């Protein structure tokens, strides 16, 4: 267990060397990252390790700072900053730097290289428009070890699966045993330097675009303000700054201002900052949002069943379910209009619109004959139930004749039809319901013995 005064010493050391702020609740993190260093050096515990640090071992200080910095990165991380670069920054720079043909990009805290390589791949897609240009991409990081990995451009299967489109993997990477290596051409486009953001920026030169993403969140407020102020001094009036999704300049620095209607991208707060065209970006973002809306919860698009696809629409622009029967049948004298069909032998076919059960104006039950209003008109849309329904118009039960307008069948005794006051007939009534009547006719409750005659033993 680390002593409080040891924690204070180490946290002050790390802040002075990297800007990283460790609060007291991060003691567990400090211990978990320092113990491997202690074991590697043959030290028995953290107390002995910290004693060595107090003695001023510079190599050990470097190891400790390196262990405490976060090296989390992946290709095209968060997507939006790269869409903004592709649709706003590059078109602007191609236009305004046409005479100079020189563009410089700085990826601060570049980690293992996925961010600068993502930009290099985008720039390669614009190579015809950037012919004759000199483009510098500089990636810096405080960790010497992570920069060695970035220069090699070697990534595991897991790393290339995080954000990298399969098309770009095939185009720009080669398989190296159980890893993937980015092409020499893309690697040659990026220079890597060991650099601490607490140091003087001026030796780095001027940059048109700066990516400083997901690093300021580890700094305290004064350090954030200082870094942003020094970044602004490196940039021309029309430069662009990119920060992480959890970072902002608001309330921290007045050197930058957010780009209108966009998060994560900033312009310099100077009179020379230009108006930029966001049309292409917003169109791409709208398209991406539309595609995401049609995707499964995991973000992967899936194909709809055939009967739900647009290509399955019928001549009237509606959609029919599979195994639909023939075209809409005709009642005794009325002609069926657009019918709503159900699977497996429904009586209406190609001119149908699929709707939930019982939601359309009229329903025809199997074995009935329905007509339009008073026999000769064309009915409204009818909902056909399975197993050979053939009628149209109002809701009719077997054995009845209904000449009302369209009727919505409700459960027994709950109300009237939806036609012109029409009713819903129940089986076995033998009655005819005409337009204008209302109510529900139930089956007869009178038993007529004369229909059957007397039994033989009673004659």
The CATH number of residue 186's host domain is: 3.40.50.150
Structure tokens at 347: 């009586």
The H or E element containing residue 62 is helix 58-68
Reading phi first (left if > 0) and then psi (alpha if -120 to 50, else beta), residue 74 is in beta
In the block, tokens 């590059």 appear at 90
Strand boundaries in 90-170, DSSP class E = 102-107, 134-141, 154-156
Say which residue, 9 or 429, is predicted with more confidence: 9
| pLDDT computed for residue 455 by the predictor | 53
- For residue 43, is it within any domain? yes
What tokens does 248 get?
Answer: 């902002």
Residues 323 and 273 placed together within one structural domain of the fold: no
Q: State the pTM of this model.
A: 0.62
Residue 320 has pLDDT above 50, yes or no: no
Taking residue 78's Cβ as centre, other Cβ atoms within 10 Å add up to: 16
- E-only strand ranges, 8-78: none
pLDDT number for residue 372: 41
What Rg, from alpha-carbon coordinates, does the chain have? Answer: 38
Angle, alpha carbons 125-131-132 (nearest 5°): 145
The reply to whether 296 falls in a domain is: no
One domain, residues 249 and 163? yes
Q: Look at residue 173 and tell me if it is in a domain.
A: yes
Domain match, 55 and 165 both? no
Q: List, in order, residues 6 or more apart from 310 with CB less than 8 Å away.
A: none
> pLDDT confidence of 72, banded at 50, 70, 90?
confident
pLDDT at 285: 81
* 349 contacts 325 by C-beta, under 8 angstroms: yes
Mean predicted lDDT score pLDDT of the chain: 75
- For residues 380 and 362, is the Cβ–Cβ distance under 8 A? yes
For residues 203 and 335, state if they share a domain: no
The C-alpha atoms of residue 315 and residue 311 are separated, in whole angstroms, by: 11
Same domain for 39 and 90, yes or no, is: no
Domain count, the chain: 3
Residues 354 and 381: beta-carbon distance below 8 Å: no
Q: Rounded to whole angstroms, what are the CA distances from 431 to 366, 399, 416? A: 17, 9, 16
125, 206: one domain: yes
Residue 205 lies in a domain: yes
| Residue 342's pLDDT band (cuts 50, 70, 90) | very low
Q: Is the pLDDT at 454 greater than 90, yes or no? A: no
Note whether 250 and 321 are same-domain residues: no
The answer on 156 and 64 residing in a single domain is: no
Spell 97-118 as b/e; 16+ CB within 10 A means b: beeeeebbbbbbbbbbbbbbbb
For residues 364 and 382, the answer to whether their CB atoms sit within 8 Å is yes
- Pairwise CA distance, residues 190 & 227, whole Å: 23
Q: Could you give the CA distance from residue 169 to residue 167 in angstroms, rounded to a whole number?
A: 5
The residues, any chain, with a CB within 8 Å of residue 43's CB and separated by 6 or more, are: 49, 52
The pLDDT value recorded for residue 314 is: 41
- At 127, the pLDDT band (50, 70, 90 cuts) reads very high
- pLDDT confidence bin for 107, thresholds 50/70/90: very high
CA distance 273 to 232: 12
Tell me which residue of 114, 139, 274 sits closest to 212, measured CA to CA.
Answer: 139
Q: Is the pLDDT of residue 351 over 80?
A: no
What is residue 292's predicted lDDT score, i.e. its pLDDT?
65
Same domain membership, residue 223 and residue 139: yes
Q: What is the 8-class DSSP label of residue 101?
A: -
Sign of CA dihedral 372, 374, 375, 378: negative
Q: Do 87 and 41 belong together in one domain?
A: no
State whether 114 and 27 are in the same domain.
Answer: no
Q: What is the DSSP-derived secondary structure letter of residue 451?
A: G
pLDDT for 293 beyond 80:
no
Three-state secondary-structure class, residue 355:
coil
Range of the domain at 105: 80-277
Cα–Cα distance between 428 and 275 in angstroms, integer?
A: 78
CA distance 38 to 33: 9
For residue 88, being part of any structural domain is answered with: yes
**pLDDT, greater one: 81 or 443:** 81
Q: Is 36 a domain residue?
A: yes
CATH (domain of 53)? 1.10.155
Assess whether pLDDT exceeds 50 at residue 82. yes
Residues 6+ apart with CB under 8 A from 366: 385, 387, 388, 389, 398
Same domain? For 220 and 351 the reply is no
Examine residue 32 and state whether it is found in any structural domain, yes or no. yes
Last residue of a domain, one of 68, 89, 111: 68
């Amino acid at each position: 267990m680390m002593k409080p005064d040891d924690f204070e010493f180490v946290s002050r050391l790390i802040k002075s060397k990297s800007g990283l702020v460790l609060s007291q609740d991060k003691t567990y993190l400090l211990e978990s990252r320092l113990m491997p260093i202690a074991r590697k050096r043959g030290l028995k515990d953290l107390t002995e390790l910290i004693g060595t640090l107090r003695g001023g071992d510079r190599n050990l200080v470097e190891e400790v700072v390196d262990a405490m910095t976060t090296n989390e990165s992946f290709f095209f991380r968060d997507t939006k900053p790269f869409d903004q670069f592709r649709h706003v920054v590059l078109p602007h720079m191609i236009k305004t730097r046409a005479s100079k043909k020189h563009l410089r990009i700085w990826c601060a805290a570049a980690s293992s290289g996925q961010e600068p390589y993502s930009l290099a791949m985008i720039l390669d897609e614009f190579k015809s428009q950037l012919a004759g240009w000199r483009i510098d991409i500089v990636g810096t990081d405080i960790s010497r070890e992570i920069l060695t990995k970035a220069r090699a451009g070697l990534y595991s299967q897991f790393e290339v699966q995080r954000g990298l489109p399969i098309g770009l993997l095939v185009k720009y990477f080669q398989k190296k045993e159980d890893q993937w290596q980015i092409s020499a051409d893309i690697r040659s486009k990026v220079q890597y330097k060991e650099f601490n953001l607490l140091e003087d920026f001026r030796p780095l030169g001027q940059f048109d675009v700066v990516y400083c993403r997901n690093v300021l969140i580890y700094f305290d407020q004064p350090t954030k303000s200082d870094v942003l102020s020094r970044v602004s001094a490196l940039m021309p009036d029309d430069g662009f700054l990119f920060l992480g999704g959890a970072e902002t300049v608001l309330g921290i620095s007045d050197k930058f201002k957010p780009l209108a209607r966009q998060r994560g991208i900033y312009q310099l707060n100077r009179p020379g900052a230009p108006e930029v065209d966001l049309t292409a970006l917003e169109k791409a973002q709208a398209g991406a949002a539309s595609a995401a809306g049609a995707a499964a919860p995991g973000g992967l698009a899936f194909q709809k069943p055939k009967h739900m696809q647009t290509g399955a629409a019928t001549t009237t622009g509606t959609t029919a379910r599979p195994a639909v029967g023939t075209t809409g049948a005709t009642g005794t004298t009325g002609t069926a209009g657009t019918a709503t069909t159900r699977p497996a032998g429904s009586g209406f076919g190609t001119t149908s619109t699929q709707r939930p059960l019982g939601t359309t104006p009229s329903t025809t039950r199997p074995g009935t004959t329905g007509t339009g209003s008073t026999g000769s008109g064309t009915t409204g849309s009818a909902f056909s139930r399975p197993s050979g329904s053939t009628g149209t118009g109002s809701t009719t039960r077997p054995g009845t004749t209904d000449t009302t307008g369209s009727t919505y069948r409700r459960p027994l005794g709950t109300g009237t039809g939806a036609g012109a006051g029409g009713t819903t007939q129940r089986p076995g009534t033998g009655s005819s319901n005409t337009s204008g009547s209302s109510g529900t006719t139930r089956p007869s409750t009178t038993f007529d013995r004369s229909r059957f005659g007397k039994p033989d033993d009673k004659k």
